[in-house]
Structure 1
Amino acid sequence: MPISPLRAALTAAALPAILVLAACTPSAPAQTDALDRFYEQTLTFGSCDGYATTDADRDLFAGNPTYRCARLEVPLNYDEPDGGTAQIAMLRVPARGESLGPLVLHGGGPGVLGLNFAATTAAALATSPITERFDLIGFDTRGVGATKPAASCFTEEDYANPEVAFEFIVTDVKATAEDTRRMADRCTTRSGGAQALGAMSSRDTARDMDVMRAALGQEKLTFFGHSYGTRIGALYAREFPQHVRAMAVDGAVDPQLRFADRRVSSFAAFQKAFDAMAADCAAKPDCGLGPDPAAATRVYQEAVQPLATTPLTGSDGRKLTFRSVSDLTISALYDPRAWPAITLGIGDLRKGNADTMLAIIDRVNDAAGAAGAFLDASVAINCMDEERLTPEQAVEMRRRLWTTAPFLDSGQGVDGARDTCEAWPAAPKPGYPFPPTIEGLPPTLTVSITNDTTTPHSGGISLAETLGGSLLTVDGWGHTITASGTNPCVNDIVADYLINLRTPADGTTCTLQPATTN
């Protein structure tokens, strides 16, 4: 059973929240002679047979022979370049016209399959000047998909079992030190050992991108990053500003916030979206959250909190749990078009009927073939990116997050929260917060939706200021827009920037659909 993006959405936003007591800003890594063999390698793109890690990607790659794949060799540990190596899986979609060179893409997560992201972005932008003038390059980051080693923490049985906990802070779980130790041991055993897990940080991925730039024959990198991909892009810009040609990012992670504050801001965005969903629903007859938007959080809690102790049984005998409904709700908040379905499910849940929610979960699972082992990689990468929490800090983090987004409060109290990565076998390599500015960067472009449901607009403003670049504000609801190709205003501005290096005038705004549904 493929991983449901319901759990993926929750994990991407909530895996372990961090209280960073101190932060340092590493200097740009030097390219030593020992790294020359990686920088000077020649990539050989060929058939994508053997690169797909899901059934959906096997069909996708086989259906388009223009897709070509290759593996980039990088040091497993950049501090020991003569030691073991990792193999970064790449997919190239050739430009439809005269190419300006490669446009390296990062689709987010952490854990999104980069090969799939390149292929689906090429389809979404099929008539865009971007796909006419650039070869799109997608890659599975360390720990992800066809890249080796890949993270593996959970079995198919785990994903199918609603009782299995995948993180121990923003849930109804009362975790113990043994739970975190078991999590670390499983990930270590299944992922190739502690050294492999220790090499799955975002800072390592940023360094991989510089090797990729050179192996692609480019003096400078042209990059587009989506959601978590903005973290990768920002890290690259900080460490290799002299190697950036153009960088467009959408759905920005705020580079100035400590990890704990960033998590809280994300949960504030979830609550804001929930409140908007409730207001939209209340304007319609028979709203599942009731006619009063101000009471919607209480109505939701009354329907969902009992599932934490007594799951509701569907007509087919399956159990609907607090965790599964919370995951589904968060997933729905990302897109206003999904709001009517989830409020219908909540209304039926209030009547004691689990079948609507279970049917929605089934439909999402059926469409999740492109997700792959998203959650495995998300756990591994976040554990390498974020400082550890003590049990006391984890409890306080759960309290902060549930206070900020009370609709997600399980009603079970905050005790038992623990850092999922508490027993991780490798020390983290945090890269945030950033210095206020990055010197030596060319003009960049940050795209940010005013009511982004997981990376708040304030983070887009902050990243644009840190990069010293332009901000394109998009008025509306949702999480990222550029890669979908659905907004002509955004499409034209981003294409003009990537191709011609022209940035929009200060204050430029595009518009999405309002926070209302039919």
Structure 2
Amino acid sequence: MTISPRRAALAALAAAASVALASCTVSTAGVAMAATTSGNAPLDLDRYYTQLLDWGPCAPFAGTDAERTAFAAPGLDCARLTVPLDYFEPDGRVATIAVLRHRTTATAQRVGSLVVNPGGPGGSGIALAAQFGAAQQDGPFDVVGFDPRGVGASTPAIDCVTDREIDEQRAETDVDTSPAGVARIEEENRRAAAQCVERSGGADVIAHSGTRDVARDMDVLRAALGERKLTYLGYSYGTRIGSTYAELFPGNVRAMVLDGAIDPTQSTADSAVAQMQGFQKAFEAYAADCATTDGCPLGSDPAGATAAFQALARPLIEHPAAVRDSDRTLSYSDAVTAVVAALYNPASWPTLTTGLTELKAGDGTTLMTLADAYFERSATGAYGNSQEALMVVNCADGGTPDDPAATAETARRVNEVAPFQDSGIKVPAIHSTCSYLPVEPVTPHLPKADGLPRTLVISTTGDPSTPYQAGVALAEALDARLLTFEGTQHTIALQGNTCVDTIVGNYLIDLSLPPADPRCGPGTS
């Protein structure tokens, strides 16, 4: 899944706290919590479960100028959680997990710690917690975020390519599909996997980068925070972390909100196809909206929008567009990335219209800005490791078949359901980078979580990244209450919609769930 950090407002929880205190969970802050180990993990993990977090300033955890500013806010402190790199070899190598906490000032109303994750794989949980903490003020929770193993400020970090190499890959226009070209691509993929292993610190780092290990880390974090039960809010890929945790530690869950679900039964290929089908629908919704305005760069007929975009973008394969005040140029792949980035939320549609209008005049500046934001490229050309982590974790979780023909078939299916991004070049049968990484993908399956309390799954009817039916399937698998939001955007919880936020707030604070089949829409904000 792609990354979409939440800039939400937890102030809704602060308001709800005043009417929900009668049934609040008693705080367990400061209570040492012994491990409840399940999920076929060994029992000799006491030194991890009983560790005390050494809280201190967050400045050393910042990787960008924006994070340095955000992490200097009052009420924030940070620590490193130590976990075994391999839970079945607890005396072997360790990893450290970056943790950020925003302490609530409402000590008399405190419910406990709310652990949050923004998605990805590769999204920074500490950055999300800093954003949430600034919004929640005197809410009922300490808001806690962690960078999953290998991500962001956690160590060892997944590191596959240099900043310069990423820029070169993004600018690549070579589309040689001859036998020699295919051989070159496969050799590049093999070399990329080897570099990933070497630069990340070894094969064991890559092998233990998957979500099952992340979920186990989250249970160690729960104990280190002094919480007997976990309260969790996960978006997008964060729903996979949550559902995996529920499967491994169902008895350790107090409350869990999963928004923008990934279908646990889908293969990586099927998930990719479903996701891109969602983006096509979002593209069509954008095109219909654009067509109502004068000068829409895709024309006044939404039915012709896909062809209009292809006519704008496909020439970039041979002739990338200039970018103002830069020696960089906009490639075809960056143009598609810019569109995808803008489709996450209708609030970005005006910027997309500006970018496409510029592209008609041969100017790729705004679209490059959108693509850079998606890839988290700074003004100085520095990248975080979110995209590298996304690739590695997806390989570890579901991988791709070690079958070049299957890879080509997936690409064909994607182009069929999402023609707006189809370059017109047939994707050859190749071994992907996943084929060369030292991972053993988990077989997609329905999570079995006997003893899990009733949880809340939110799914948006027009979600471009995580299709609505994926949320339906996850809610059914977990016997969770499904909240439907009727709209076109990726995730909705605690983003200002009164209907959704009231339901989420009541559940997180006093564990009160709405009646069956609740529905909210944009007009309820």
TM-score class, shorter: 0.7 to 0.9
Alignment of 1:59-458 (within 5 A): 59-64=69-74, 66-98=75-107, 99-126=110-137, 132-161=139-168, 163=170, 176-314=185-323, 318-358=328-368, 372-389=384-401, 390-415=403-428, 418-424=431-437, 426-430=438-442, 432-435=444-447, 438-458=449-469
Shift of 1:366: 8.6
Describe the shift of the 1:362–1:431 C-alpha distance in structure 2 as closer, same or farther (beyond 3 A).
Answer: closer
How big is the alpha-carbon RMSD for the aligned residues of Structure 1 and Structure 2? 2.6
Give the alignment's TM-score, normalised by structure 2: 0.85
- The 8 Å contact of residues 201 and 384 in structure 1, kept in 2 or not, is answered as yes
CA distance in 1, matches of 2:377, 2:328: 20
**Paired residue secondary structure (2:337):** helix
Describe the shift of the 1:159–1:431 C-alpha distance in structure 2 as closer, same or farther (beyond 3 A).
Answer: same
CA distance in 2, matches of 1:409, 1:47: 47
Describe the shift of the 1:231–1:362 C-alpha distance in structure 2 as closer, same or farther (beyond 3 A).
Answer: closer
Shift of 1:294: 0.9
- The 8 Å contact of residues 477 and 513 in structure 1, kept in 2 or not, is answered as no
Q: Which amino acid in structure 2 is aligned with residue 183 of structure 1? A: A
- Please name the residue that 2:28 is paired with: none
- Please name the residue that 2:178 is paired with: none
- The 8 Å contact of residues 206 and 439 in structure 2, kept in 1 or not, is answered as no
Describe the shift of the 1:363–1:76 C-alpha distance in structure 2 as closer, same or farther (beyond 3 A).
Answer: closer
Describe the shift of the 1:431–1:483 C-alpha distance in structure 2 as closer, same or farther (beyond 3 A).
Answer: farther
Shift of 1:28: 4.8
**Paired residue secondary structure (1:73):** strand
Which deviations, in whole Å up to 9, do the C-alpha atoms of 1:210-257 show, x marking residues without a partner?
111222222211111111100000000011111111111111111222
CA distance in 1, matches of 2:473, 2:429: 34
**Paired residue secondary structure (1:476):** coil
CA distance in 2, matches of 1:453, 1:368: 26
Alignment of 1:7-26 (within 5 A): none
The alignment-based identity, stated in percent, is 42
Describe the shift of the 1:44–1:355 C-alpha distance in structure 2 as closer, same or farther (beyond 3 A).
Answer: closer
Query: How many residue pairs are counted as aligned between the two chains?
Result: 479
**Paired residue secondary structure (1:180):** helix
Shift of 1:87: 0.8
Q: Unaligned regions of 5+ residues in structure 2, if any? A: 5-36, 176-180
- Please name the residue that 1:23 is paired with: none
CA distance in 2, matches of 1:44, 1:233: 26
- The 8 Å contact of residues 153 and 190 in structure 1, kept in 2 or not, is answered as yes
Q: Unaligned regions of 5+ residues in structure 1, if any? A: 10-26
Shift of 1:272: 0.3
Which deviations, in whole Å up to 9, do the C-alpha atoms of 1:247-285 show, x marking residues without a partner?
111111112222221211111100000111111111111
Which deviations, in whole Å up to 9, do the C-alpha atoms of 1:449-491 show, x marking residues without a partner?
111110011111111111101111111111112243x212221
Shift of 1:327: 0.4
